[in-house]
Amino acid sequence: MSVLDDYMVHPGLSLLDKTRIQAQVLVPLLQALRAELGRQRADAIVRQALRDWSKQVFAAVGNGVDGGPRRKWAAMHTALADVTEREVTVEMRRHDAEALEFDVTACRFAEFFRALGEPDLGALLICETDFDIVAAGAGEVGLTRDQTIMQGAPRCTFRYRFAPR
């Protein structure tokens, strides 16, 4: 059992495969929207819809975890790491009571969405999730991430900060 079982829908499927299935219907719909509305408006509507959806999904998951913000974040962060770690290469830089800092130097999610020519969709479905999970740790966990591979950078720079206990 994982706190993300419902989010994953099917326990035997990897997050990358789940996201590939969703992209198969989302990309044609996005293309149809762009043809009808123009790229800027279509992308803005999809962005808002997927951000709102993702925030709601992870807020609901967080509500189901017992404990304070730090504990909620930790439970969700660990569960997400369990389903993403096979797709990424991580260089740990710092892990102590005050901070967790690591770089992702290779990412199959980014490879997939960049090959499709839809990195913004990939960011909405994958990268933004980290901030929705941080929201569950509000006040006790913060994240800055200046760049991501999905955006075209050579590495993603995850810098978590923890409030003193």
Partner 1 sequence: MTDTSDLPISHLQRRKIEGRVLIPLVETLRQKLGDEVAGEILDATIRRLAVGDGQRWAETYGQGMEALKRVAEDVWAGGGGMDLQVKGQSEQHLDFDVTRCGYAEFYQALGLAVLGYRIHCNRDHAMVTGFDDKLELSRSQTIMQGADHCDFRYRSRS
Applying CB under 8 A, the residues found at the interface with partner 1 are 9-10, 12-13, 17-18, 20-29, 32-33, 36-37, 45-46, 48-50, 52-53, 112, 115-116, 125
Q: CA-CA distance, 72 to 156, in Å (whole number)?
A: 23
Q: Closer CB to partner 1, residue 46 or residue 141?
A: 46
Whether 51 and 115 have beta carbons less than 8 Å apart is answered as no
20 versus 71: smaller Cβ distance to partner 1: 20
d(CA 24, CA 19): 9
Q: How far is the CB of 139 from partner 1 (least distance, A)?
A: 28
If the CB atoms of residues 74 and 76 are measured against partner 1, the closer one turns out to be 76
Antiparallel, parallel or unpaired: β 99-107 and 156-162: antiparallel
Name beta bridge partners: 92.
Answer: 102
Least spacing, CB of residue 32 vs partner 1, in Å:
5
In angstroms, rounded to a whole number, what is the distance separating the alpha carbons of residues 121 and 30? 9
Q: How far is the CB of 58 from partner 1 (least distance, A)?
A: 13
Cα separation, 123 vs 68, in Å, equals: 28
Where do the H-state alpha helices sit in the chain?
Answer: 5-8, 15-37, 39-63, 69-84, 108-116, 119-122, 129-136
Least distance (Å) from partner 1 to the CB of residue 137?
24
Q: How far is the CB of 42 from partner 1 (least distance, A)?
A: 9
Considering the complex, state which of residue 45 and residue 138 has its C-beta at the smaller distance from partner 1: 45
CB nearer partner 1, residue 117 or residue 139:
117
Structure-token pair, residue 30: 């996005």
